[in-house]
């Protein structure tokens, strides 16, 4: 894809390269100590995308200490690295790239991150307000003029990497159930929204199951809350084991209730997996203070399998409600799994 070159961005003059060279030697003498206030700093990985090899070399050297830099000379190479699952803490993107221009590249890079939000910093000679605004609106985290001041580059890259780290930690807390380590309802909602779009595009079959431990109150009443907690964790572990495919999502909704959301398997296959999982739960030992107790637990499940289509309006809460109706029937009839009729 051809683009109009942006003035000031195409060539690094000798003067620029000279300033980088000066910086490298200054760095070399500083010993590259990777500490701040006596604290060891985390080494962040940075992906630099620039078609000018001199810039790639310069950035690498500027970020030699405290960063691990990967340089690529085209947006396509960067996309291919992300597609292969490579993860970076910060992306430095040149706006004027010959294959795909930076503005177009921002959403393409973000799309491949599977929900991670890696800060993209535009690094360019074009610092017109309109370009800056456009870049930031498209989702860039920041804008740095070329040639960057090495110190400012390091500080900004670190600042964005640290902010992204903090955000990831907060998200992990917000989306994880602390007792079991499974996703909580919010986490499931997030995964569901991502996954259901893919399923609707491809008319893929999905299954939603709600599982609930039977007579759980009596476990608590007889053995205490700690054993109850251990029983919840044991069910969580077995659910993870039996629903471990990339297209399976297991969450704890709260209390002793769990949800499995899964795609790409038909009802018969899912029924079989659920049966095997329930058998494993029924025979799993429970412990009180490290000593095995006699008590075993069972779960009941309500479930449905349906095919996603572009036109259908799938909402997680509605699907869970429908599975819940089946779960209620399962409890009433003492059938251990009830599936919604197609
Ligand atoms: P049913 O067979 O109909 O499912 O009955 P049940 O006893 O399993 O369900 P009920 O809703 O009557 O009781 C659920 C109990 O789960 C009540 C609550 O105190 C307990 N509970 C909820 N969250 C937790 C938790 O995190 N840990 C423990 N140990 N107990 C919990
Ligand atoms: Mg360029
Ligand atoms: Mg229960």
pLDDT tens digits along 89-110:
999 999 989 999 999 999 999 8
Q: Is the pLDDT of residue 210 over 50?
A: yes
Question: What is the CB neighbour count within 10 angstroms for residue 162?
Answer: 15
Nearest CA to ligand 1 atom 17: 217
> Which residues of the chain does CATH 3.40.50.2300 include?
4-174
* Cα 35 to Cα 158: distance, rounded to the nearest angstrom: 12
Alpha carbon 159 to its chain's center: 21
Whether residue 7 has pLDDT greater than 90: no
Per-residue 3-state assignment (H helix, E strand, C coil) for 218-283: HHHHHHCHHHHHHHHHHHHHHHHHHCCCCCEEEEEEECCEEEEEEECCCHHHHHHHHHHHHHHHHH
Q: Give the CATH architecture of domain 4-174.
A: 3-Layer(aba) Sandwich (3.40)
> Domain 185-340's class?
alpha beta
For position 41, what pLDDT does the model report? 83
Average pLDDT, the chain: 87
Contacts of 217 (CB under 8 A, 6+ apart): none
Q: Is the pLDDT of residue 277 over 50?
A: yes
Residue closest via CA to ligand 1's atom 14 equals 217
- Using DSSP bridges, classify how beta strands 248-254 and 257-263 pair: parallel, antiparallel or unpaired: antiparallel
Measured in Å, residue 228 CA sits from the centre of ligand 1 at: 8
Q: In what order do the strands lie in the sheet with 257-263?
A: 248-254, 257-263, 205-213, 299-307, 337-339
Q: Which ligand is nearest to the CA of 94?
A: 2
Kindly tell me the burial class for residue 3, based on how many C-beta atoms sit within 10 Å of its own C-beta (0-12, 13-18, 19 or more). middle
208 band by pLDDT with thresholds 50, 70 and 90: very high
Instruction: Please give the number of the atom of ligand 1 that sits closest to the Cα of 225.
Output: 29
Say what percent of the chain tops pLDDT 90: 76
pLDDT in tens, 50-69: 999 999 999 999 999 999 99
Bridge partner residues of 250 (DSSP): 260
Q: Where in the chain is the domain with CATH 3.30.70.270?
A: 185-340
Ligand 3 centre distance from Cα of residue 131 (Å): 57
Phi, psi of 311 (to 5 degrees): -85, -20
Grade residue 36 by pLDDT with cuts at 50, 70 and 90: low
Q: Pocket residues for ligand 1 (CB within 6 Å)?
A: 179, 212-217, 220, 225, 228-229, 232, 255-256, 331
Q: CA 165 to CA 118: how far, in whole Å?
A: 9
CA 302 to centroid of ligand 3, rounded, Å:
13
Please choose from 185, 217, 227 the residue to mutate so as to test ligand 1's pocket, defined by most ligand atoms within 8 A of CB: 217
Question: In terms of pTM, does the model score above 0.75?
Answer: no
Neighbours of 178 (CB within 10 A): 9
Which of 179, 213, 215, 216 to mutate to test ligand 1, by most ligand atoms within 8 A of the CB atom?
216
């Amino acid at each position: 894809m051809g683009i109009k070159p942006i003035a000031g961005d195409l060539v690094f003059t000798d003067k620029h390269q000279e300033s980088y060279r000066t910086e490298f030697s200054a760095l070399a003498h500083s010993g590259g100590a990777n500490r701040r206030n006596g604290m060891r700093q985390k080494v962040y990985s940075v992906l630099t995308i620039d078609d000018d090899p001199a810039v790639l070399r310069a950035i690498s050297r500027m970020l030699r200490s405290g960063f691990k830099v990967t340089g690529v000379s085209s947006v396509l190479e960067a996309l291919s690295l992300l597609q292969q699952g490579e993860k970076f803490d910060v992306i430095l993107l040149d706006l004027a790239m010959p294959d795909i221009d930076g503005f177009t590249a921002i959403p393409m890079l973000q799309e491949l991150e599977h929900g991670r939000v890696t800060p993209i910093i535009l690094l360019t000679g074009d610092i017109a307000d309109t370009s800056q605004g456009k870049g930031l609106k498209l989702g860039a985290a920041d804008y740095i003029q070329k040639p960057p001041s090495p110190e400012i580059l390091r500080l900004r890259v670190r600042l964005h990497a640290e902010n992204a780290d903090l955000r990831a930690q907060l998200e992990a807390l917000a989306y994880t159930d602390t007792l079991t380590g499974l996703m909580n309802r919010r986490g499931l909602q997030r995964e569901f929204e991502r996954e259901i779009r893919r399923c609707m595009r491809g008319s893929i079959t999905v299954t939603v199951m709600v599982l609930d431990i039977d007579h759980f109150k009596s476990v608590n009443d007889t053995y205490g809350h700690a054993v109850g907690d251990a029983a919840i964790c044991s069910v969580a572990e077995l659910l993870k084991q039996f629903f471990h495919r990339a297209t399976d999502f297991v969450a704890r909704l709260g209390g002793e209730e769990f949800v499995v959301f899964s795609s790409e398997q038909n009802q018969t296959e899912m029924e079989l997996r659920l049966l095997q999982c329930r058998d494993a739960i029924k025979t799993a030992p429970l412990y009180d203070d490290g000593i095995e107790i006699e008590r075993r637990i069972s779960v009941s499940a309500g479930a449905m399998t349906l095919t996603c289509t572009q036109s259908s309006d799938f909402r997680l809460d509605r699907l869970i409600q429908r599975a819940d109706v089946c779960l209620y029937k399962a409890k009433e009839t003492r059938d251990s799994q009830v599936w919604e009729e197609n």
